[in-house]
Structure 1
């Protein structure tokens, strides 16, 4: 079976789907497993690596408590993909115009649209909850994000930075796909940071011993528990809308440089940094997937490789040992700073050959060589998911 390593140094075991785990990630997993409210075991996906606060690639079932740092600050970060009706041989020989069209339509990094691009009904629904029920109770959140309303409304339909991307891909049948990776942008970041710090302050007041300060948590029924649950679910919904809006804008943008096409498959849209209420091993739990996607039996998901590598549309197999989860991507094998030390701009050009993308020094930390081989990651989870489509990008827009 794909469980490659069993860690028995906590209150519950940790089942790890790879043998390639850095010692700092093992320490983080051990600390999570020491918490008294973790249910049955912790699962670590084959792309597992050290994260900020908690391990990326960890699936954590908890009873009566949630760890904000395990969810992280890019709340609701995830993937969406849509198949078009055109084939590879219908694409223009030079794809630079396609990349430029996407870059002009979608702000990246900290940028936002010049005006609100999302539906008015979406903005009204989101604003009602954020303004009255989240910021109304925690006004300090608004002070953490400059021009709060303008920023979150105009960032709907934008990419962000880091490892977020938009790609035009080809599958094994030479069908064309649009795929993207993004999350809850600036507003999700400040919500995450605010509640992570609030959990730490609450724990300090109660003098609760923790295996690591970053694992501060809210217990069910405590003062800020319900507020965090409401805020995190709002941010997850925002991230979902952000990806949908972005996909709509991208499809509009590429109609000019591409031949006429239809949308042949409804978009797959899945989170990989989030918390949900699910039932596992006979108990209802708060299941946190930090760098992992839901893989219930028959459920479709997306597992991207690095810039220049393959990606996969998968179907879940509902494996209970992984809490019906699988990896969210290839997973980093070196930090961003280490990648910048190890690789050059020439390396980027070599490793992204055949892909229309940026190849400048500012994307060195996203070079394929900084990530685990996606084929190995997929082999290590062959009883968690089955591959439906194998994608290879021909255009990549980075944040």
Structure 2
């Protein structure tokens, strides 16, 4: 689907792949970001766009010589990891309940952490520069080490999926855990304090920013990259454990080499070249989709998910959506749906079926098929997956 330019008067245009009119609050949030003087060319809104903090979730913001930490968000480096296995769907028959039990035993979820730090984690190179992170997180090194290889809560998940050819895929969604959250909060506070001191008249306090060349910018950029690397490795550690569980149940422990392997962020910022200029690209709930880039676009826990390849669409800053996007808030989902609804909407999926995950019910999300149809000019589908097992955070 081609994008449409929103009918608003702002210093730079807002291009939308949403395929529907935005609500008044969403429109205001788009206007606020487009009014910032350092935004490059235009704002790009992905098909799963919805309300966020400061900036819309599902927005791609390219900036010149400045960055907005709240636009990146507090789950720095949140993203997806997936591998294609050599296994067939029938090899999972009667094993899913035990696989789920073993995953839950091997990978801590929610606020939990590992009781011990294994060698794979302690050998991570990032620990060498922990002392250079913000002073406000220095007491958290032990916690960060124990949380490496843990899932977290909310919409984070681990899934066994089957594609249209009955191949088994392993997929998970997680970020930089408590350490990323704490780093983000410290820097967002600093940005807001600077804005107050400067008397800046921002359309939203959450759009406080750092200017390139200042110590505050350099400190944030350093910590941001560290947290993004933490998130990437956190997913790799969990995937290794997940893979071992499945190998044990399906192949007697014999390891396999994935034929496709993807590990991508969807809450992050990087330096990139767009329209001939180096800019800072913030993808707040969006995946990089340069030509031939692999990406992962999950649906809800009862819907399809997609492995995709990017088409390198310049107008989207080579980006695509990061999922289905929420139709309703977590509180609204709890008010509108019952446990019976959850059981019905997750039929055929080995997963928790209790009120603790009612806010993650499929009905709280946009239809993923429509989201995919709206970005046919951004990505091509490599594989369509349906989960048969889901572990929620």
Give the TM bin, normalised by the shorter chain: over 0.9
Alignment of 1:150-229 (within 5 A): 150-229=142-221
Residue of structure 1 equivalent to 2:100: 99
Q: Secondary structure at the match of 2:6?
A: strand
Residue of structure 2 equivalent to 1:387: 381
1:267 aligned to which of 247, 261, 268: 261
Residue 141 (structure 1) aligned with residue 137 (structure 2):
yes
Q: Secondary structure at the match of 1:287?
A: strand
1:236 aligned to which of 228, 235, 242: 228
Aligned residues: 390
- Give how far 1:29 is off: 1.1
Q: Is the 8 A contact 2:121 2:148 kept in 1?
A: no
Alignment of 1:224-373 (within 5 A): 224-260=216-252, 262-373=256-367
Separation (CA, whole Å) in 2 of partners of 1:5 and 1:11: 13
What 5-or-longer segments of structure 1 have no aligned partner? none
Residue 377 (structure 1) aligned with residue 378 (structure 2):
no
Q: Is the 8 A contact 1:73 1:189 kept in 2?
A: yes
- Give how far 1:52 is off: 2.0
> Deviation per CA, 1:332-366, whole angstroms, max 9, x where unpaired?
01000000000011100000000000010011100
Separation (CA, whole Å) in 2 of partners of 1:121 and 1:102: 21
Residue of structure 1 equivalent to 2:120: 119
Separation (CA, whole Å) in 2 of partners of 1:369 and 1:118: 41
Q: Secondary structure at the match of 2:385?
A: strand
Residue of structure 2 equivalent to 1:29: 30
Q: CA RMSD in A?
A: 1.3
Residue of structure 1 equivalent to 2:42: 41
> Deviation per CA, 1:221-271, whole angstroms, max 9, x where unpaired?
123010000000000000000000000011112233323562332420000
Separation (CA, whole Å) in 1 of partners of 2:217 and 2:315: 28
- Give how far 1:89 is off: 1.4
Residue 66 (structure 1) aligned with residue 67 (structure 2):
yes
Separation (CA, whole Å) in 2 of partners of 1:8 and 1:326: 23
Q: Secondary structure at the match of 1:227?
A: helix
Separation (CA, whole Å) in 1 of partners of 2:35 and 2:64: 14
Distance 1:7 1:286, change over 3 A: farther
Residue of structure 1 equivalent to 2:14: 14
Q: Is the 8 A contact 1:56 1:291 kept in 2?
A: yes
Separation (CA, whole Å) in 1 of partners of 2:246 and 2:207: 44
Separation (CA, whole Å) in 1 of partners of 2:263 and 2:95: 29
Residue of structure 2 equivalent to 1:128: 128
- Give how far 1:20 is off: 4.7
Distance 1:20 1:257, change over 3 A: farther
Separation (CA, whole Å) in 2 of partners of 1:263 and 1:189: 33
Separation (CA, whole Å) in 1 of partners of 2:325 and 2:47: 8
Residue of structure 1 equivalent to 2:89: 88
- Give how far 1:5 is off: 4.5
